[in-house]
């Protein structure tokens, strides 16, 4: 599906097969030069829908530049295949390259989750199930962007904003004159962005909440997220996201008040917006994302002295 948002700005809906997100919002700025903001998985279906959409709005794929809000495969997967230069943060590019070229990256991550209580026989499945393993991009020509860098395409003058949390190097784009924010997965309206454990971030949730504070101050009339609906006010949504994490932190803290638990065990005491009756019915990847988010919340509480971590072979948390 293609939708004209405003003059020189379009949304191409890229399907994400067998994924709970269903689709990605890829935004395309046309005019004097073209910019594709996020791409979809490195899959033939995603590629054909992108090429079809670009053709309908008169954009030559090989002549367009690509901006990746972050390293996740649903946002950067097609970047190398489309062939244009790719704008991205240096930190996310380095993680993407490391995970693509070095299998030990994934082995080390699986071992960390096992230390946090994730059953080993199930954790090992992630080595073949994770979207970053299945749908990662070919190595692209990266151009690194930093906070306050400027991109000019068509009638749009875009300011780069570093918004770590969802990933260490997540970037948003802000058009101050038109008051448009391309929020990637920093702000989503129908679902909450996954805030998970990252080796590069000591406090992913703390960084995320600070990034929300920064975006809250902007004057925005239209927020364009990476997935699903994009009709809503950014300040109201930020307030909802803050409250969401406050409740989740409370649930995590309550889970360890009466004794030590692993992140795997704490995750089962948290309310997840998932269409399954119980924890055991969750697919492996949904459990993986839930445990990763639980670790991030426990790390936030530990930073603030509300929980403590103990153990070496297996990590436990207690109030």
Mean pLDDT of 262-274: 94
Is 90 exceeded by the pLDDT of residue 296? Answer: yes
pLDDT at position 230: 83
Residues comprising the chain, all counted = 319
Is 80 exceeded by the pLDDT of residue 140? Answer: no
pLDDT band (50, 70, 90) for residue 18? confident
Is 90 exceeded by the pLDDT of residue 233? Answer: yes
Is 90 exceeded by the pLDDT of residue 92? Answer: yes
pLDDT band (50, 70, 90) for residue 75? very high
Q: Are 75 and 184 in contact (CB under 8 A)?
A: yes
Which value, to the nearest 10 degrees, does the dihedral of the CA atoms of residues 109, 115, 121, 122 take? -60
pLDDT band (50, 70, 90) for residue 62? confident
pLDDT at position 2: 95
Is 90 exceeded by the pLDDT of residue 277? Answer: no
Q: How far apart are CA 28 and CA 9, in angstroms?
A: 6
Compute how many other C-beta atoms are within 10 angstroms of the C-beta atom of residue 174.
19
Residues 6+ apart with CB under 8 A from 291: 113, 116, 117, 118, 263, 264, 267
Strands 142-145 and 2-6: unpaired
Provide the token pair at 266. Answer: 């704490």
Indicate the DSSP class of residue 40.
-
Sign of CA dihedral 228, 196, 73, 64: positive
Mean pLDDT of 131-141: 80
Is 80 exceeded by the pLDDT of residue 300? Answer: yes
* Lowest-confidence segment of 88-92, 141-145, 165-169 by average pLDDT: 141-145
Mean pLDDT of 78-82: 91
pLDDT band (50, 70, 90) for residue 232? confident
Compute how many other C-beta atoms are within 10 angstroms of the C-beta atom of residue 18.
9
Q: What is the pTM of this model?
A: 0.95
Alpha helices in the chain (DSSP H): 44-56, 73-76, 79-82, 90-101, 104-115, 120-123, 126-129, 131-134, 204-216, 234-255, 263-267, 284-303
Q: Are 205 and 300 in contact (CB under 8 A)?
A: yes
pLDDT band (50, 70, 90) for residue 274? confident
Mean pLDDT of 132-140: 79
Percent of the chain with pLDDT over 90: 86
Q: Helix 90-101 vs helix 104-115: angle between axes, to the nearest 10 degrees?
A: 100
pLDDT at position 231: 81
Mean pLDDT of 124-147: 88
Is 90 exceeded by the pLDDT of residue 59? Answer: yes
Q: How far apart are CA 309 and CA 296, in angstroms?
A: 13
The superfamily (CATH) of domain 2-318 is Ribonuclease Z/Hydroxyacylglutathione hydrolase-like (3.60.15.10)
pLDDT at position 257: 96
Is 90 exceeded by the pLDDT of residue 69? Answer: yes
pLDDT at position 84: 80
Provide the token pair at 94. Answer: 């380095």
Digit-coded pLDDT (tens) for 104-115: 999 999 999 999
Mean pLDDT of 287-302: 98
Mean pLDDT for all residues in the chain: 95
pLDDT at position 99: 86
pLDDT band (50, 70, 90) for residue 173? very high
pLDDT at position 192: 96
pLDDT at position 136: 77
């Amino acid at each position: 599906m293609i939708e004209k948002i405003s003059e020189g700005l379009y949304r191409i809906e890229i399907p994400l097969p067998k994924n709970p997100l269903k689709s990605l919002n890829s935004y395309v700025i046309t005019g004097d030069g073209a910019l594709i903001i996020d791409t979809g998985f490195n899959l033939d279906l995603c590629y054909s829908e992108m090429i079809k959409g670009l053709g309908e709005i008169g954009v030559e794929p090989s002549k367009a530049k690509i901006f990746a809000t972050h390293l996740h495969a649903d946002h950067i997967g097609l970047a190398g295949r489309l062939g244009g230069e790719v704008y991205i943060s240096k930190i996310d590019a380095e993680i993407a390259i490391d995970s693509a070229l070095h299998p030990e990256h994934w082995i080390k991550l699986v071992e960390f989750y096992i230390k946090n209580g994730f059953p080993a026989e199930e954790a090992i499945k992630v080595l073949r199930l994770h979207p970053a393993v299945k749908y990662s991009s070919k190595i692209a020509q990266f151009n690194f962007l930093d906070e306050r860098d400027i991109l000019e395409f068509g009638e749009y003058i875009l300011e780069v904003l570093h918004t770590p949390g969802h990933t260490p190097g997540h970037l948003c784009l802000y058009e101050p004159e038109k008051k448009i924010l391309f929020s990637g997965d920093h702000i989503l309206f129908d679902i909450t962005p996954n805030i998970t454990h990252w080796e590069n971030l000591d406090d992913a949730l703390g960084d995320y909440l600070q990034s929300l504070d920064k975006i809250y101050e902007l004057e925005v009339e239209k927020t364009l997220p990476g997935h699903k609906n994009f009709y809503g006010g950014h300040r109201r949504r930020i307030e909802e996201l803050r409250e969401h994490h406050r409740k989740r932190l409370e649930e995590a803290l309550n889970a360890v008040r009466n004794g030590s638990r692993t992140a795997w065990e704490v995750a089962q005491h948290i309310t997840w917006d998932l269409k399954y009756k119980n924890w055991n019915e969750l697919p492996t990847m949904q459990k993986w994302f839930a445990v990763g988010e639980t670790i991030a919340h426990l790390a936030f509480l530990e930073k603030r002295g509300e929980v403590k971590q103990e153990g070496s072979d297996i990590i436990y948390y207690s109030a």
